[in-house]
Amino acid sequence: MKKIIFIALLAAMGCKPKTETKEETTIAHDSTKTMSSIQKSAFGKLADGQEVTLYTLTNDKGIELKVMNYGGIITSLKTKDKNGVSEDIVLGYDSLAGYLKATPYFGAIVGRYGNRIAKGKFKIDGKEYTLAANDGQNSLHGGLKGFDKVVWNAAEAMTPNGPSITFSYLSKDMEEGFPGNLKSEVTYTLTNDNELKLDYKATTDKATVVNLTQHSYFNLSGNAKRDVLEHTISINADKFVPIDKTLIPTGKLQSVEGTPFDFRTMKAMGKQINDKDEQLDFAGGYDHCFVLNPSTDSLNHAASVIEPVSGRKLDVYTTEPGIQFYTGNFLNGTITGKYNVVYNKRFAFCLETEHFPDSPNQSQFPSVLLKPGEVYKTSTVYKFSNL
């Protein structure tokens, strides 16, 4: 009886009681076009019994993002082609089980340090720290159990710009060998301007290194119909970061002029990918950080990609100094993903906004050091449109 009276009082005040089921929760916002919303549903359990939740964000233009609290992994991102057909433009799996196997970081938040650290070692104030060597002799993407393999806390919100979800995680002192208790937050906002906005924030109680990024594998053909070699791309960079045969930066910055790395004007990803070039040989294609040209804008336009058949276009904006362009060189046909598609070599590309690889060991690179009292903050926007 008391519950009925309470609900009646809420109704009289113009409030609606929140309704929630164990299986699914929906937060929605009315729009004159469609309805932007957030839906929450169960997505399975980890071996230790932790429950994994999948969140579906939809903006008022009909773009749909699916992301789970395990690794902050984007499992699906559906956008419309030039004919209005909505299809998935990222690689991934149909179920949680795929992500729990050896997977190449599909759609994940990577950290505490995205990209490589030479020989898994670095120093802060003269003290050496040792990380797991999980990529040959080097450390890659945070180690054996990086941010892509943990369950994050999640908080959903409907913002004036669109549906949003904030993931937070406390990485404890010496987790994977990194010093300091690091509090991290990553907010995904699917704006009604057809943007996926990523806001990163972190604080620490001890000097540490931080380089967070998002590792979605894109294929703008829709549902991964074909490889990405005919996608055209431009990158706002006069220089790139050359690497050695272990994929660690040499420490120098090289001009793109006269090289296969000149993407200052649009060209097909596959146009020069098989050229005789030492840098391409080392990586088996493109897997390099590009040094973004300076900008006075708060968000620097980093890159544009167009898939000519579907007409889909992706623009990337960021506050970061670099962007890693990767052409799926290590995909080899051993993974069958969503829609029963076999992911062969170069079936996707990544554009990971970041500080440069191995920055903790390269004093001439922009610093990745975070000290107590400081706040690590970066932003990246993936904007979707059509020709």
Q: Does 16 score more than 70 pLDDT? A: no
148 and 40 in one domain? yes
In a domain, 14, yes or no: no
Which pLDDT does position 13 carry in this prediction?
42
The H-or-E segment that residue 2 falls in is: helix 2-12
Count of structural domains within the chain: 2
Give the number of other CB atoms < 10 A from CB of residue 254: 16
Q: Between 101 and 227, where is the model more confident?
A: 227
Mean pLDDT computed over 344-364: 98
Which pLDDT does position 6 carry in this prediction?
39
Q: Does 147 score more than 90 pLDDT? A: yes
In a domain, 381, yes or no: no
Cα–Cα distance list, 203 to 173, 184, 231, 237 (Å):
12, 7, 38, 30
Distance CA 217, CA 227 (A): 12
314 and 175 in one domain? no
Lowest average pLDDT, out of 20-34, 77-91, 261-275, goes to 20-34
Q: What is the Cβ-side half-sphere exposure of residue 157, based on CA atoms within 13 angstroms? A: 12
233 and 191 in one domain? no
Q: Does 307 score more than 50 pLDDT? A: yes
Q: Which of 166, 193, 213 is the last residue of a domain?
A: 213
Q: Which of 175, 194, 213 is the last residue of a domain?
A: 213
Residue 246 lies in domain: 224-364
Q: Does 15 score more than 80 pLDDT? A: no
Beta bridge partners of 74: 67
* Listed residue (160, 157, 141, 159) closest to 149, CA to CA: 141
Q: Give the CATH number for residue 231.
A: 2.70.98.10
In a domain, 206, yes or no: yes
In a domain, 121, yes or no: yes
User: What φ, ψ does residue 36 adopt, rounded to 5°?
Assistant: -80, 145
Q: Does 204 score more than 50 pLDDT? A: yes
115 and 39 in one domain? yes
320 is catalytic: no
Which pLDDT does position 28 carry in this prediction?
52
Mean pLDDT computed over 37-50: 96
Distance CA 300, CA 291 (A): 12
Chain-wide mean pLDDT for the chain? 92
In a domain, 287, yes or no: yes
Which residue is catalytic, options 141, 175, 195, 215?
Answer: 215
Mean pLDDT computed over 25-38: 64
Which pLDDT does position 24 carry in this prediction?
46
What DSSP assignment string belongs to 293-315? PP-SSSSEEEEEEE-TTT-EEEE
In a domain, 346, yes or no: yes
pLDDT in tens, 228-265: 999 999 999 999 999 999 999 999 999 999 999 999 99
Which pLDDT does position 27 carry in this prediction?
55
Q: What is the DSSP letter of 124?
A: E
Q: Does 71 score more than 70 pLDDT? A: yes
Mean pLDDT computed over 191-201: 98
258 and 178 in one domain? no
Distance CA 88, CA 46 (A): 25
353 and 266 in one domain? yes
CA 10 from centroid of its chain's CA atoms: 41
Instruction: Report the alpha-carbon angle 174-182-319, nearest 5.
Output: 125
Residue type, 129: Y
pLDDT band at 303 (very low <50, low <70, confident <90, very high): very high
* Listed residue (199, 162, 209, 194) closest to 77, CA to CA: 194
Distance CA 373, CA 86 (A): 45
Q: Between 366 and 10, where is the model more confident?
A: 366
Which pLDDT does position 21 carry in this prediction?
37
In a domain, 333, yes or no: yes
Distance CA 385, CA 301 (A): 15
193 and 234 in one domain? no
In a domain, 171, yes or no: yes
231 is catalytic: no
Distance CA 169, CA 374 (A): 18
303 and 173 in one domain? no
97 and 174 in one domain? yes
61 and 201 in one domain? yes
279 and 179 in one domain? no
Q: Which of 148, 180, 213 is the last residue of a domain?
A: 213
Which residue is catalytic, options 87, 176, 185, 352?
Answer: 352
pLDDT in tens, 168-183: 999 999 999 999 999 9
pLDDT in tens, 75-105: 999 999 999 999 999 999 999 999 998 789 9
234 and 206 in one domain? no
